[in-house]
Amino acid sequence: MADLFLTHGYFLDEDPKEQKIMRPYPPLGLLYVSAHLKQNGQNVHLFDSTFSSFNELKKALLEQNPKVLALYTNLMTKLNVLKIMAWVSEHLPNCKRVVGGPDVSYNIENYLKHGAQFVVVGEGESTMLELAEHLISGKGALTDIDGIAYLENNKTISNKPRTKLKDLAELPLPDRASIDFERYLDVWKTHHGKRTANISTQRGCPYTCKWCSTAVYGQSYRRRPATQVADEVEMLQQEFGVEALWFVDDVFTVSHKWLAELHSEFKNRNLRIDFECITRAERMNETVLQQLKEMGCFRIWIGAESGSQRIINKMDRRVDINLVAEMMQKTQEFGIEAGTFIMVGYPSEELSDIKQTAAYLRKAKPNLLTITKTYPIKGTSLYHEIEDHITVQPPWESSTDRDIKFKLPQKDGFYQLAIRYIMNEYHAAKSTSPLKKIKHQLKAKVAFLGMRSQ
């Protein structure tokens, strides 16, 4: 039996979209916390719910009968996390309930009112260790633990923020040995042909995009040493047979000096592995592309979010849309796929902006495109901007930020048609089949006429 039970409440079987694409990744944040706790002598049971079920989770909780349950929560898992805490409150009343993760920082009181007894705000490793030592062994006082919030006499107490970890090299590698890591690799091999894993090299982002949440790491930039990252890549290849990587960092090439160091480590070790990453157009050049190519990069996601410079400026994205298109084309010249993200329904977006986005994609011709309707995450600059213009805000305990609606120039149907229009314009530009090209062009025209008639 374990003193401390860690889990996250994401169940693949409940996610029809993920079941179609089958690109599941281990919960890295939770694996880092688990590794740190174990390194410091804590008795931890890590339950990875991805390939499991709520019934199996309940069974494991009853078997372990832990003193503390710590749940990682985000936008996707929030409702399950609330359900798990409610069940634990009823069936394991002596088990202390703790939540942490990106969704808690701006929802502290909500979580405390709906089942959590303690909230870990920001980076979790050091805070969770001190809180576990207090709850399990009675060490120290709650008031001395930075980075937590709790209820006292029905009043929310928020301790001072935790100082961010300066040296990421101090952290142990993620606790992959405590999950069925092989299951993830097998799923990737079966559905995508390569045993693929996720890996993190940095924390924080120095940029200020208004829609992006910085709830955990803040607007900071900290990097693991290139030697340590290369060590981890070698370990993943040699011990687990990993064939490809997804670097989860917000801007992988933000530091050209660090990237050159990593490239040098790869070269000196004769190390190479297929990988994809995310970056920004202004943090790319031919030298960067050559280094990425030599290390094994096969795909780069280059953020744009819109093809309208006006909307990009409103987002505080700080990038020239023409440079984004140029870097996508340059990426492809190096034999690397270019992917991009588009956001539809940003405040004040009109038909002219949608048309510019479609034109930009026809010019840039990314290999891959993901598109989504804008939603305001609590705590972001975007949320603060639209807060007074919210038209629909369902009860917190039964909804997520995705369900929030705010005043826009057009009705919801307009933006659904906009997504259809942009996607069909994109596919028409890419298509090599005359018949498919015409088909997509017709669909795009129908969607465009639909937008005009809204």
DSSP 40: T
pLDDT of residue 214: 82
Same domain, 23 and 152: yes
DSSP symbols for 199-236: E--EE--S---TT---TTT-S--EE--HHHHHHHHHHH
Same domain, 9 and 152: yes
pLDDT of residue 80: 98
Same domain, 42 and 123: yes
438 vs 428: CA distance, rounded Å:
7
Neighbour-count burial for 207-236, b at 16+ CB within 10 Å, e otherwise: bebbbbbbbbbbeebebbbbebbbebbeeb
Q: Is residue 32 part of a domain?
A: yes
Same domain, 217 and 97: no
Domain count, the chain: 2
Q: Is residue 424 part of a domain?
A: no
pLDDT of residue 216: 78
Q: What is the pLDDT of residues 126-166, one digit of tens each?
A: 999 999 999 999 999 999 999 999 999 989 999 999 999 99
Type of residue found at 183: R
Beta bridge partners of residue 157, listed in sequence order: 150
Q: How far is CA 118 from CA 90, 152, 214, in A?
A: 17, 11, 21
Contact predicate 91/119, CB 8 Å: no
CATH number of the domain residue 233 falls in: 3.20.20.70
228 vs 169: CA distance, rounded Å:
7
Q: Is residue 173 part of a domain?
A: yes
Of 315, 338, 369, which residue is a domain's last? 369
Backbone angles phi, psi at 305, to 5 degrees: 75, -25
Backbone angles phi, psi at 253, to 5 degrees: -105, 25
34 vs 57: CA distance, rounded Å:
17
Same domain, 154 and 289: no
Same domain, 326 and 243: yes
Q: Is residue 89 part of a domain?
A: yes
| Chain position carrying tokens 């010019």 | 363
Question: What is the distance, to the nearest Å, from the Cα of residue 438 to the centroid of all Cα atoms in its chain?
Answer: 36
448 vs 183: CA distance, rounded Å:
44
SS (H, E, C) 364-417: HCCCEEEEEECCCCCCCHHHHHHHHHEEECCCHHHCCHHHCEECCCCCHHHHHH
Same domain, 330 and 257: yes
DSSP 271: -
Of 158, 176, 207, which residue is a domain's last? 158
Same domain, 113 and 211: no
CATH number of the domain residue 142 falls in: 3.40.50.280
Q: What SS3 state is found at 298?
A: strand
Low-confidence ranges of the chain (pLDDT < 70): none
pLDDT of residue 123: 94
Residue 14 CB partners (closer than 8 Å, separation 6+): 80
Same domain, 190 and 148: no
Q: Is residue 182 part of a domain?
A: yes
Structural tokens at position 330: 């340059």
Q: What is the pLDDT of residues 322-364, one digit of tens each?
A: 999 999 999 999 999 999 999 999 999 999 999 999 999 999 9
Question: What is the distance, to the nearest Å, from the Cα of residue 122 to the centroid of all Cα atoms in its chain?
Answer: 15
Q: Is residue 109 part of a domain?
A: yes
DSSP symbols for 308-359: -HHHHHHTT----HHHHHHHHHHHHHTT-EEEEEEEE--TT--HHHHHHHHH
Type of residue found at 350: E
Of 369, 401, 433, which residue is a domain's last? 369
Structural tokens at position 261: 């160091």
Same domain, 276 and 330: yes
Same domain, 153 and 178: no
| Chain position carrying tokens 């031919």 | 286
Q: Is residue 416 part of a domain?
A: no
Tell me the residue range of the domain where 320 lies. Answer: 168-369
360 vs 339: CA distance, rounded Å:
13
pLDDT of residue 208: 85
Most distant CA atoms of the chain, gap in Å: 72
115 vs 97: CA distance, rounded Å:
7
pLDDT of residue 449: 97
Q: Is residue 135 part of a domain?
A: yes
pLDDT of residue 303: 87
Same domain, 117 and 262: no
Beta bridge partners of residue 279, listed in sequence order: 302
